[in-house]
Amino acid sequence: MIYSKMETLTQFKTSLNDSEPDPWLAVQLKSLWYDGKGNWNLAHKQVDQLNDRESAWVHAYLHRKEGDTGNADYWYRRAGKVRPDLSLSQEWEALVLYFLQ
């Protein structure tokens, strides 16, 4: 896995002002970066073809955001998670923080 030089949520959010994501971002963070920029389709494209549990977690969040709860729950199960009782923005931040570790 390639790790970003970013260490904080604030740094990640500031990077949303850039035109492209940091090339060192892990694929899950790239997906969350594109989602943070409002590009759901490109965010989904980053993780759609991946089968690991961490990518499935981001994939689940994206389908939850899309409003497809059934599909989201499928991906949460694939990730070994349950749909959280958080707002979408809270879940996005929790995911970013997790992947920045």
Please write the tens of the pLDDT for every residue from 49-73.
999 999 999 999 999 999 999 999 9
Cβ atoms of 16 and 33 closer than 8 Å: yes
Does residue 55 form part of some domain? yes
Residue 4 above 80 pLDDT?
Answer: no
Q: Note the pLDDT tens digit of each residue in 20-56.
A: 999 989 999 999 999 999 999 999 999 999 999 999 9
Q: Which of 101, 40, 36, 50 is nearest to 79 (CA)?
A: 50
Work out the pLDDT band at 2, boundaries 50, 70, 90.
Answer: very low
Q: Would you say residue 65 lies in a domain?
A: yes
Give residue 65's domain range: 9-14+23-100
| pLDDT over 60 at 96, yes or no | yes
Is 91 among the domain residues? yes
* Structural domain total, the chain: 1
Lowest-pLDDT choice from 6-10, 14-18, 75-79, 90-94: 6-10
Which residues does 66 contact at the CB level (< 8 Å), separation at least 6?
A: 40, 72
pTM (2 decimals)? 0.93
